[in-house]
Amino acid sequence: MDDELNKLGSDLSRKLGSKLTGFAVNHGELTIEVARNQIKDVMTFLRDDEAYRFGCLVDICGVDYPEREERFDIVYHLLSPWKNLRLRVRVTTDAVTAVPSIVEVFPAANWFEREAFDLYGVEFEGHPDLRRILTDYGFEGHPLRKDFPLTGFVELRYDDEQKKVVYEPVQLMQDYRDFDYLSPWEGMGTAIPGDEKASVVEEGEGKS
């Protein structure tokens, strides 16, 4: 599988030339790196070329690496149902440089780009209606940035007792927990709810 994906990456790199800055195969998936200002042309090529036909945009998401100069990855996942292929496309940007919108290429990108704008603050140049989509009206900041504070903000909710929308300080519903992922189920000190039913069945087995 990796050999086939490397071949696909090499083919795309040859056809797209300088529009691609590199590609890699990891965990059985191909990722191509695209120059930010070329993303619209590359996505059009991937959609229309008969050799690939990546006609389905699965999603667009963001990743934040605050230590980098271009701290944000914008990641596109494409599917070709005709060729049974999947492809990850990635561009990078900083906190002020817009990424070209691909809504004209894939109309489904509309809400995905709005979500990335809302949660990471990445702007998409040429988007027809770039505004928040998940946070409240008047919300400040971008909550999926890694430097976004966990306290000092307010949230909006409908209060059933007051019969109106209220703003109140954000509250974390539980303390942070550190999971070591090493303890087996047998290590639990208490019974799992429902185990008592199994005990009753075991005691009654063999009795007439």
Q: What is the pLDDT of residue 178?
A: 62
| pLDDT tens per residue, range 28-86 | 999 999 999 999 999 999 999 999 999 999 999 999 999 999 999 999 999 999 999 99
Quickly state the pLDDT bin for 168 (edges 50, 70, 90): confident
Residue 91 near residue 61, CB atoms below 8 Å: no
CA dihedral 21, 24, 29, 33 (to 10 degrees): -10
Please check the confidence at residue 194 and state whether its pLDDT lies above 70.
no
- Can you tell me the mean pLDDT for 73-101? 97
Q: Is residue 156 predicted with pLDDT exceeding 70?
A: yes
Distance CA 126, CA 30 (A): 28
Alpha helices by DSSP H, the chain: 2-16, 39-48, 109-120, 195-204
Between CA 130 and CA 28 the distance in angstroms is 34
> Exposed (0-12), middle (13-18) or buried (19+): which is 69, by Cβ within 10 Å?
exposed
Provide the whole-model pTM: 0.75
In this structure, what DSSP letter does residue 197 have?
A: H
